[in-house]
Structure 1
Amino acid sequence: MPRSINNTSYRGSSTVAKFCYTIIIAFVCYAVVFIVKNTLENHNAESMESYEFSNYIKKYKKTYNSSEYFRRQKIFERASKDIERLNQMENISIDVDIYGYTKYTDWTSYEFEKNMLLQNTTPISLCKKETREPKPLNQRLLENLPQVVDWRSKGIIGPIVDQKMCRGCWAITVTGATETMVAVDLQKNGTFQHLNLLSIQELIDCSKVNDGCRGGKPSTAVNYLINNKIPIVSQLEYPLKLVDEPCKLHGHPSGVLIKQYKELCNNDEEVMLRHLADVGPLIAAVNAKLWQHYSGGVIRQGCLGNEGYLNHVILIVGYNLTAPVPYYIIKNSWGVDYGDHGYVKVAIGGNVCGIADEVSYIIV
């Protein structure tokens, strides 16, 4: 009997051992599969990011040395996550991304702000900042407006300019607004033939109260021209260089004299829309910090909630009230390979990106 009991114990122990062995093998196999699977997923993700970066540098014709390549790739990968977050922030209900890869995606946010945006934190205009809550648009007033206004359709908006590494958005916008208002007057009296492009470089070089390619303000630039009776000459006469150079105006140059410069501070947006419909384009300061990754569509939220920090000057050339999200048509100065062929759409209502805080227009 003892031997029989021992055999039974042995067989029981053997069964338990086999069971434990099976469990261990299964666990090890699962762990191996898990590790391999995650390794492959990480490898695939890295391969996808490398593939996207490779396509990106081809599209935008980027060139780096070997060490710079990997640094820019890391910046690009971080930016990809920022872009995903920005699109989520916009709460897009349709299958359209507002943010995506741009020619600035391989830049850090610091590089973008330093090279593309105005650095001075004082107001861009003479407006005094007011703290105010966004209010809904007056629908009755909107119904009495043309539903779509686009001054480009009249052939009086100049081509998109690429400011490159010159922070001359203020000069680009002032000349753009001025040449358009000259064309508006010529169209009214039936003598308009073609748009006469004016010299951006003149303002960069000769506006002594501004700082050239290091930045400036439309208000001080235009008031300097008015007070000193200085005309803006044609671009043919004073070509664009996008670098700071000594002023080349001499004697009594012939050009366009600006008569008045009017500012609309802390606006109701219905006032802006009425001006755009009845008079012409508007100069506006905006917070463009997150425009680094703008690729198209209507911006509704993308200003970090800090509309009061205005760092870029643009020209509003129209609006569209019939779109699912009504928007302003903004002429930017970062080239035709940026945004919507050089343009940006910003939602009407809510003072998005501070667009209604510092607005102005020119009378010629």
Structure 2
Amino acid sequence: MELARANAMKIIMALTIVAVSLCLLIIPISVEPDRSQDIKLFEAYVTEYKKPYKFNRTEYERRFERFQRSLRKIDALNGLRMSEHSARYGVTEYSDMTEQEFLALNLHPDLPAHSERHHQCHYHHIHSAKRSRRASLILPMKHDWREKGVVTAIKSQGNCGACWAFSVVEVAESMFAISNKTLSALSIQEMIDCAGNNNFGCEGGDICSLLEWLVISKTRILPEANYPLTRITNVCKLQKKNVESQVGIQVSDFTCDNFVNAEEELLKELVTKGPVAAAVNALSWQNYLGGIIQFHCDGSFANLNHAVQIVGYDKTAEIPYYIVRNSWGSSFGDKGYLYIAIGNNLCGNNFIYITSSYIYLM
């Protein structure tokens, strides 16, 4: 009997050792498929986006590590989705960058410093005086200027940090189309090359500074065909002595204001005036694919780093949202657009619009 019990104990101990051994063997197996899958995703990513480091082993490994961090961040963000309409995140052309690299390439952390001096300018008071006269306006539940045929095609700023010029010129295009029933592409490159008033071409600028320069200098925004986009800062090609005789449109006035805790006023501007340019915080957009952004998008003034165009809104949706046009090409987000929830001052709070006074000389 004792012999049988001893043999049984030996068998149990042997099985325990085998089980422990199997667990130890399983550990690397459970991790390795993740890395293997990540490698396959990265190989496809490098090919799809034609990344230049494909044959540079050191850079390839460095970018792979950053790509893996993006994958983990994407998983975390998607895990917080509240509904099928919430923002979706996935691999984009920026997924092999750190946040710091993404910020340096596409965004401008010094934007608040550029904007600060405009907060108390006279244009702000013009806008504030007009608010009370529209207090009784009944807003439609949705409004989309794209459906009115007054928004030009999505453009890409590439590696040129001139989002400030893209957003202002896009608003000018739309405002002109609303007033004159003609939609024409205007020159962003002219603004990049020529705008003064503390604007620095592809190195950064400010939407209000640009508008102020356009009004004071009486410079006309030329047709894009007359001054094509190159996405690099060139020597200004305008003939200075003939600035006022150039063919184009002239901005005669504009408004800079913020809408903190006054988003209903912003909706009124969108409906009654047209699309607006907006200074926003776009740091969390690195891996955005579509859907409505509801969080992880700090809108404080100190963190503004990008400029976009807001072209409409939809309050009939399960999650009411703004329709935002970006300048990162049509492959970004939803064919170049993204959607931000209304009501929480998400992503930014500084908005401008151009009043509808132009000189049409095209």
Please say if residues 165 and 192 of structure 2, whose CA atoms lie closer than 8 Å, have aligned partners that are also in contact: yes
Q: Which shows bigger deviation, 54-63 or 160-169?
A: 54-63
Amino acid at match of 2:221: I
Find the aligned partners of 1:149 and 1:206 in 2 and give their Cα distance: 34
Offset, 1:325: 0.5
1:201 aligns with 189
Offset, 1:321: 1.1
Which secondary structure state, in structure 2, belongs to the residue aligned with residue 262 of structure 1? strand
Question: 1:256 and 2:246 equivalent?
Answer: no
Find the aligned partners of 2:31 and 2:299 in 1 and give their Cα distance: 35
Amino acid at match of 2:324: I
Please say if residues 256 and 352 of structure 2, whose CA atoms lie closer than 8 Å, have aligned partners that are also in contact: yes
Find the aligned partners of 1:83 and 1:247 in 2 and give their Cα distance: 42
Find the aligned partners of 1:307 and 1:35 in 2 and give their Cα distance: 52
Offset, 1:41: 1.5
* % identity of equivalent residues: 36
1:265 aligns with 258
Q: Give CA deviations for 1:300-351 in whole Å, capped at 9, x if unaligned.
A: 1022575641110010001111111111111100011111110010011110
Find the aligned partners of 1:159 and 1:95 in 2 and give their Cα distance: 25
Amino acid at match of 1:350: N
Which runs of 5 or more structure 2 residues have no equivalent in the other structure? 121-134
Which secondary structure state, in structure 2, belongs to the residue aligned with residue 246 of structure 1? coil
Superposed, 1:1-364 pairs within 5 Å as: 12=2, 14-64=3-53, 65-89=56-80, 91-94=81-84, 98-120=88-110, 121-122=112-113, 124=115, 126-127=118-119, 144-187=138-181, 192=182, 195-209=183-197, 210-250=199-239, 251-252=241-242, 253-267=246-260, 268-304=262-298, 306=300, 308-354=302-348, 357-363=349-355, 364=358
Amino acid at match of 1:254: V
Q: Give CA deviations for 1:190-241 in whole Å, capped at 9, x if unaligned.
A: xx3xx21111111111112211101000111111111111111111111111
Which secondary structure state, in structure 1, belongs to the residue aligned with residue 220 of structure 2? coil
Find the aligned partners of 1:142 and 1:94 in 2 and give their Cα distance: 35
Q: Which shows bigger deviation, 280-289 or 247-256?
A: 247-256
Q: Which shows bigger deviation, 284-293 or 55-64?
A: 55-64
Aligned length: 332
Q: Give CA deviations for 1:31-76 in whole Å, capped at 9, x if unaligned.
A: 2221222222112222221222223223323242222222111111
Amino acid at match of 1:23: I
Find the aligned partners of 2:147 and 2:284 in 1 and give their Cα distance: 29
Please say if residues 154 and 330 of structure 2, whose CA atoms lie closer than 8 Å, have aligned partners that are also in contact: yes
Find the aligned partners of 2:231 and 2:203 in 1 and give their Cα distance: 11
Find the aligned partners of 2:154 and 2:162 in 1 and give their Cα distance: 13
Find the aligned partners of 1:15 and 1:99 in 2 and give their Cα distance: 62
Amino acid at match of 1:66: R
Find the aligned partners of 2:256 and 2:91 in 1 and give their Cα distance: 35
Find the aligned partners of 1:85 and 1:33 in 2 and give their Cα distance: 31
Find the aligned partners of 2:310 and 2:155 in 1 and give their Cα distance: 15
Find the aligned partners of 2:300 and 2:140 in 1 and give their Cα distance: 31
Which secondary structure state, in structure 1, belongs to the residue aligned with residue 154 of structure 2? coil
Find the aligned partners of 2:33 and 2:85 in 1 and give their Cα distance: 25
Offset, 1:259: 0.6
Greater radius of gyration (CA): 1
Q: TM-score, normalised by structure 2?
A: 0.86
Which runs of 5 or more structure 1 residues have no equivalent in the other structure? 1-10, 129-140
Please say if residues 87 and 288 of structure 2, whose CA atoms lie closer than 8 Å, have aligned partners that are also in contact: no
